């Protein structure tokens, strides 16, 4: 037997590990299973590509054997194996570049260091969190001699010749005090399912199972071997090999739901970064979609090993309804949440994933409109949130969201609205600020009806906030009809400015309404109604201001609306002809208040409004 010393860096690392800088000791199993899985991958690759290995048997499996009494766990694989040299260099040194640099960054502050270690990844050495002795017996594929490596994880290791009937590696863990909790079959099954369920190879657990002996009325221990993982890693198989049923089954295990998904997008990226993504869109929006405390439905895997779920970094918030998997070849197994936040690999995957999801949705919208409608019925709103937050994908999102409109039943796309634009129509128009029924009857729409111009009905509460920030659809301006300048578009060339003739009435209205209005002017947008209110370009509408106050924004400056009056309306004409008396003053206030009411804005003094209304009624009844 020969004694070898660990490379200095390994000793330093082991010191850190043993002083439990690692927060989850259970990950030792994930690391060892992942090593076995890599070893199986390597051998499979050789048997497929290298003549010298083609004849070798390849029965891939990983076996866990538990001895509860001795408190040992054996992990065996039929993978590539290691010879003496491999064992010495792989399990005695750290070959990775940047090791020195990494170790020099450690500060002695347990919390900071454990993050760094997570980023670096300690792999095999993590076993010394739970073991006071580890034996590795390995035989390299294509060689006859096997070797035993033994260490207590402190000073160094011993190496000696050993026997092993087939190629592969066996790791025997002698649990320490901390590790004793893992000498438990339930615990092991749980950990394997949590982290390694989709490792592509079967993982078997052999343990003493308690079985009821009816004859002797006692339970017997029966040595049992069971497969504990699903061994599917379906997403790593080529699309051509997978059936719809496969995808649906995986969806259920990923989402924990019972229903079938609406659609799925499966992508394998090869190039500077290698990763696989499989995204599902659930048929029904998740129940927590609008909770502040929603749960992310995409899980992160690294090389088929489950790393974490509920990581908000994986996709932008507006895509929180998406379920599925991101499986990267390039992230370290021990990647932590902190690291994910500024990880370049993940940022690249995320950016590409968003593009992929959106472009697939665009395809569906174009080629399967019926399916797309089902999607929109559930997810139009989150897509609109994306318009607000995801500037880079705004153009695509504008194509994807759907709108109510004055021209069609149901919903329409901006592309369709564009195709229906009238000759000479300069912009696409929309109205916001209340329930659909209120918006549809707004006086602001009258001129559009008269000119047969389409207006989008944006009745979601956040529509004004979102769309006031979006000025264009392609080359076309998007304009809110309740903005004062929008009416400029509509002025026909033959329509002279009627403000001049209304001057005396406008002066009277200004005097009466005082500081309740910013301005009073002749309207070009009204047909049937005598009056309406509009806001300045840069200001939130009155309705919006009202909502912002209701949500607790108390310190909003009081922004005043502009009152517009319809020069062609009978009431306006009569008022113009009348002297400024108390009836005219009542009428002035009623013109203003009714305009507010039509916009769904509460009027300041309902009692005064009713009194005026009754005085006017009294004259006409």
Backbone phi, psi, residue 606, to 5°: -60, -35
User: How many residues contact ligand ADP, by CB under 6 A?
Assistant: 15
Nearer to ligand ADP, 128 or 265 (CB): 128
Q: Which of residues 131-190 bind ligand ADP (CB under 6 A)?
A: 169
Q: Which of residues 85-104 bind ligand ADP (CB under 6 A)?
A: 90
Could you list the beta-strand ranges (E) of 152-254. Answer: 156-162, 168-175, 203-213, 218-227
Look at the alpha carbons of 399, 403, 407, 408 in this order and tell me if their dihedral is positive or negative. Answer: positive
DSSP result, 500-517: HHHHHHHHHHHHHHGGG-
CA distance linking residue 478 with residue 496, whole number of Å: 26
Q: Counting runs of H as helices and runs of E as strands, what totals does the chain give? A: 20, 22
Q: Which residue number is nearest to ligand ADP in terms of Cβ? A: 123
Annotated ligand binding at 124? The verdict is yes
Q: Rounded to the nearest whole angstrom, what is the least distance from the CB of residue 44 to ligand ADP in the complex?
A: 13
Annotated ligand binding at 169? The verdict is yes
Q: Are 30 and 190 spatial neighbours (Cβ–Cβ below 8 Å)?
A: no
Annotated ligand binding at 614? The verdict is no
By C-alpha distance, which of 564, 533, 526, 530 is closest to 447? 526
Q: Are 526 and 564 spatial neighbours (Cβ–Cβ below 8 Å)?
A: yes
Q: How far apart are the first and last CA of the chain?
A: 116
Annotated ligand binding at 592? The verdict is no
Nearer to ligand ADP, 91 or 358 (CB): 91
124 binds ligand ADP (CB under 6 A): yes
Nearer to ligand ADP, 82 or 129 (CB): 82
Annotated ligand binding at 77? The verdict is yes
Nearer to ligand ADP, 90 or 176 (CB): 90
CA distance linking residue 135 with residue 159, whole number of Å: 10
Selected binder of ligand ADP within 82, 199, 315, 591 (CB under 6 A): 82
121 binds ligand ADP (CB under 6 A): yes
Q: From its phi and psi, is residue 45 left (phi > 0), alpha (psi between -120 and 50) or beta?
A: alpha
Q: Rounded to the nearest whole angstrom, what is the least distance from the CB of residue 349 to ligand ADP in the complex?
A: 20
Nearer to ligand ADP, 14 or 357 (CB): 14
Joined tokens for residue 580: 């400024």
Look at the alpha carbons of 571, 576, 579, 581 in this order and tell me if their dihedral is positive or negative. Answer: positive
80 binds ligand ADP (CB under 6 A): yes
Nearer to ligand ADP, 85 or 259 (CB): 85
Annotated ligand binding at 118? The verdict is no
CA distance linking residue 159 with residue 90, whole number of Å: 13
Annotated ligand binding at 35? The verdict is yes
Nearer to ligand ADP, 79 or 282 (CB): 79
**Which residue stretches of 282-404 are H helix?**
337-341, 344-367, 369-389, 394-400
Annotated ligand binding at 8? The verdict is no
Nearer to ligand ADP, 170 or 482 (CB): 170
x-or-dash pattern for ligand ADP, window 25-54, by CB under 6 A? ------x---xx--x---------------
123 binds ligand ADP (CB under 6 A): yes
Q: Are 124 and 31 spatial neighbours (Cβ–Cβ below 8 Å)?
A: yes
Q: Rounded to the nearest whole angstrom, what is the least distance from the CB of residue 15 to ligand ADP in the complex?
A: 16
257 binds ligand ADP (CB under 6 A): no
Joined tokens for residue 41: 């991958």
Annotated binding residues for ATP, as ranges? 31, 35, 77, 82, 90, 97-98, 119-124, 169, 337
Annotated binding residues, as ranges? 31, 35, 77, 82, 90, 97-98, 119-124, 169, 337
Which spans of this chain sit near ligand ADP (rule: CB under 6 A)?
A: 31, 35-36, 39, 77, 79-82, 90, 121, 123-125, 169
């Amino acid at each position: 037997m020969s004694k070898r010393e660990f490379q200095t860096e390994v000793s330093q690392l082991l010191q850190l590990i043993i002083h439990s800088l690692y927060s989850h000791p259970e990950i030792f199993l994930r690391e060892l299973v992942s090593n076995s899985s890599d070893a199986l991958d390597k051998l499979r690759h050789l048997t497929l590509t290298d003549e010298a290995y083609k004849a070798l048997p390849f029965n891939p499996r990983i076996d866990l054997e538990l001895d509860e009494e001795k408190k040992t766990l054996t992990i065996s694989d039929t993978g590539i194996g290691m010879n003496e040299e491999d064992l010495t260099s792989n399990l005695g040194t750290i070959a990775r570049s940047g090791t020195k640099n990494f170790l020099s960054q450690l500060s002695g502050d347990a919390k900071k260091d454990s993050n760094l270690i997570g980023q670096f990844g300690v792999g095999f050495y993590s076993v010394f969190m739970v073991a006071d002795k580890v034996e590795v017996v390995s035989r390299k594929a294509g060689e006859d001699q096997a070797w035993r490596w033994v260490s207590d994880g402190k000073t160094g290791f011993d190496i000696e010749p050993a026997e092993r009937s087939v190629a592969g590696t066996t790791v025997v863990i002698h649990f320490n005090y901390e590790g004793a909790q893992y000498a438990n079959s339930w615990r092991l099954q749980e950990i394997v399912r949590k982290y390694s369920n989709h490792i592509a190879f079967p993982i078997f657990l052999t343990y003493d199972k308690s079985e009821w002996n009816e004859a002797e009325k006692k339970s017997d221990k029966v040595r049992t071997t069971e497969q504990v993982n699903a061994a599917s890693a379906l997403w790593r198989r080529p699309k051509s090999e997978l059936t719809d049923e496969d995808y649906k089954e995986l969806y259920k295990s990923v989402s924990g739901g019972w229903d079938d998904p609406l659609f799925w997008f499966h992508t394998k990226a090869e190039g500077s970064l290698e990763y696989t993504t499989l995204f599902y869109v659930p048929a029904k929006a998740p129940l927590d979609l609008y909770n502040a405390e929603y749960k992310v439905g995409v899980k992160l895997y690294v090389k088929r090993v489950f790393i974490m779920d509920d990581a908000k970094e994986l996709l932008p918030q507006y895509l929180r309804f998406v379920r599925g998997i991101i499986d990267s070849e390039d992230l370290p197994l021990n990647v932590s949440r902190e690291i994910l936040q500024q990880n370049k690999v993940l940022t690249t995957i995320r950016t590409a994933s968003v593009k992929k999801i959106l472009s697939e949705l665009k395809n569906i919208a174009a080629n399967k409109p019926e399916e797309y409608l089902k999607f929109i019925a559930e997810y139009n709103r989150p897509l609109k949130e994306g318009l607000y937050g995801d500037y880079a994908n705004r153009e695509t999102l504008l194509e994807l969201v759907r709108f109510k409109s004055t021209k069609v039943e149901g919903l329409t796309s901006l592309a369709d609205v564009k195709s229906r634009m009238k000759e000479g129509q300069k912009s696409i128009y929309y109205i916001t600020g209340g329930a659909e029924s209120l918006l549809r009857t707004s006086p602001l729409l009258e001129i559009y009806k008269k000119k047969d111009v389409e207006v989008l009905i944006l009745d979601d509460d956040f529509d004004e906030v979102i769309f006031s920030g979006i000025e264009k659809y392609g080359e076309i301006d998007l304009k809110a009809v309740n903005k004062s300048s929008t009416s400029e578009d509509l002025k026909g060339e033959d329509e002279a400015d009627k403000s001049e003739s209304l001057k005396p009435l406008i002066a009277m209205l200004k005097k009466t309404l005082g500081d309740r209005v910013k301005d009073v002017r002749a309207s070009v947008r009204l047909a049937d109604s005598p009056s309406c209110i509009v806001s300045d370009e840069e200001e939130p509408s009155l309705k919006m201001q009202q909502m912002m106050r209701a949500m607790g924004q108390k310190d909003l400056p009081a922004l005043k609306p502009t009152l517009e009056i319809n020069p062609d309306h009978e009431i306006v004409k009569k008022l113009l002809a009348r002297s400024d008396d108390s009836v005219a003053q009542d009428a002035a206030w009623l013109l203003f208040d009714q305009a507010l009411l039509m916009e769904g804005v509460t009027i300041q003094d309902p009692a005064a409004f009713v009194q005026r209304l009754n005085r006017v009624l009294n004259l006409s009844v």
